Amino acid sequence: MVQKPKRKGNALAFLMPYIFLIGVVVVLIVLFGGTGKTVKETWNPSPDAIEEKLEMIYDDVAANKAVMDKITIYEKERVLIIEGQYTKDKVTYIFAVQTGSTVAEDVAKLYDAVYKFGNKVVVYNAFEVTFWDGLISWLPMLLLSGLLLFFLFRTMNSNSNNKAFDFGKSPVKSIENSKIRFADVAGCDEEKQEMQELVDYLKHPQKYTSMGARIPKGVLLTGSPGTGKTLLAKAVAGEAEVPFFFISGSDFVEMFVGVGASRVRDMFRRAKQHAPSLLFIDEIDAVGRQRGTGVGGGHDEREQTLNQLLVEMDSFSDNSGVIIIAATNRPDVLDPALLRPGRFDRQITVSLPDMKGREEILKVHSRNKKVAKEVNLKNIAMRTPGFSGAELENIMNEAAILAARFNKKEIDMTDIDEAIDRVHGGLAKKSQNRSAEETRIVAYHEAGHALAGLKLKNAMKVQKVTIIPRGDAGGYVLMTPENDKYNYTKRELMDRISGLLAGRVAEELFFDDITTGASSDIEQSTRLARRMVTEFGMSNLGPIKYEEPAGNAFLGRDYANAHRNVSSEVAFEIDQEIKNIINTAYETVKKVILDNRDQLILIAETLLTKEILTNEEVVSLVETGSLPTKEEPKTEGTENPTDVNLEVKEEPKE
């Protein structure tokens, strides 16, 4: 593209503000600058006093003690105005007085006193002030006014991004022809089916109006971050082939009063003009939080914006052709008025994908990438439970970057393994200078986790064990469930706690000492045991929920933490039940390790040599006492493994 030459007018327009500014400074220096001191005097308006003051100045002038520069005397609207300036002892005195002229002889007396200065005094009549005198007196104001007008007109007429007068305009962005389709959204088949109704309405509204049906005015998408809520909304607009308007909830919040409400009105006005259309508000919790919780009560700017949003949604006529879709991962803090029928009629939860969904997502994000044939996406999906669509996309992107870095022609499993590590654990710290004793402790710690995963019936499946530090972890065990689970039994939770404590038990048994390396395991096991007692009713206290979230909607749920609606006696019993669960799990895994002491030693010593063990290698060590031979086939996608920092220790869902 050939760049157009800049016009001279643009350069002049650029320099004009600086020219004006320099002119103002010069005029001010000329008018008010000087090396001497200037004193302004206001005299007593009594005619006698004025006459006495003028007589004193006359004596000083006559004795060459002062120099009279100028005196102006004129009468205006029965008021005698006397202004003058004289210099005495290098000090310039400016005097001014206004006095009533109702008495003619008083006026004459003043005139006589002034006229005594003779040739050294110039007396002006009010109508004898020259044009240039007036211009000079008003020049600073004229320059400042001109400078202000220049900037105002320049702002109003410019084509730049300067939007000084657009505070009330909505910063909503629009896409006329969205390229995203439902085929680009994977892992949420049920959610796509629900949204298909909106697409059908936008394409064929008369089919619904003829049946007397009212399409939902608004659809609220909830779910964890990265599950594809925004992508799903764009796919609806793409499938319906209608204009797509999108804005973030934070764009409404401004420091200026009334700006948020004005932007809401402008946003809905634009959407109505392009009906049928789709209006998407991302992170609506930024503006839709419960009212009455802010610092300003019901009159703060955010709440006024929310009130305007409610009014605009109510003003929508049925089947107006505009559908509102909002997304949030904090539906618990939204104002109930937003969720009532007639506003956001339908709420759709976009859940984390299951194994089949993860595989479909990986296929979508592998379309434009050169992936090796031996890469099994199903195996990757099995290793990534609890991953969101955004995380899976990031894994494939990181794998592509790694392959390009090493000048590979295709993405292989080593790239994907390393990408998983990078996403969740950071860079591998193979150069970390760790002592032999510390490395040995880490090896036995991780071997304890691996052995517990194999020997405990309800434990998760061991995928990989490594002692290579990555991030804050000195080593880890990758453990995944055989299938996606949504409900957990008490035995499964107890075995999970036992697996978490296995590393700590191994340290105690083999080194007669303990380290800080089990702090994360202790934290997770304690939190899980507390939920078993207070939420799941899996203790001797019975099926009673003792704790519930009590976070303030304004301060945030995590700020206030959890609320204990129990007495001190019951709180003590809760603590005792948590302790009993932890102790029981501790003794269980301790017995498992003692019964399989030789197998744990074999795993740990092999780790010290190889640093990384796969599932097949760990199983072979436990069952046969040796590593599998090279001729033995391995599960596809596990050749040349790198350390994977993915110790999946999901908490059970309610």
Is 353 strand, coil or helix?
coil
Number of neighbouring beta carbons within 10 Å of residue 185: 25
Number of neighbouring beta carbons within 10 Å of residue 510: 19
Closest of 397, 401, 398, 393 to residue 364, by C-alpha: 393
Closest of 323, 289, 305 to residue 220, by C-alpha: 323
Sequence letter at residue 341: P
Closest of 610, 612, 653, 615 to residue 634, by C-alpha: 615
What 603-608 contacts at long range (C-beta under 8 Å, 24+ apart), as own/partner pairs, is 603/447, 603/450, 603/451, 603/465, 604/440, 604/443, 604/444, 604/446, 604/447, 605/443, 607/443, 607/446, 607/447, 607/465, 607/466, 607/467, 608/439, 608/440, 608/443, 608/467
How far are the Cα atoms of 10, 200, 219, 228, 240 from residue 187, in angstroms, in the given order?
54, 21, 19, 9, 21
CB-side exposure of 431: number of CA atoms within 13 Å? Answer: 1
Tokens of 351: 């859940």
Tokens of 109: 């007396």
Is 533 strand, coil or helix?
helix
Sequence letter at residue 212: G
Which residues are within 8 A (CB) of 382 and not within 5 positions of it... i.e. 6 or more apart?
355, 480
Tokens of 201: 């309405």
Q: Catalytic residue at 52?
A: no
Tokens of 542: 């019975």
How far are the Cα atoms of 294, 473, 521, 647 from residue 468, in angstroms, in the given order?
48, 9, 18, 14
Closest of 350, 355, 429 to residue 392, by C-alpha: 355
Over its C-alpha atoms, the chain yields an Rg (Å, rounded) of: 41
Q: What is the largest CA-CA distance in the chain?
A: 132
Catalytic one of 283, 398, 446, 577? 446
3 state SS for 122-189: CEECHHHCCHHHHHHHHHHHHHHHHHHHHHHHHHHHCCCCCCCCCCCCCCCEEECCCCCCHHHCCCCH
Positions annotated as catalytic residues are 446
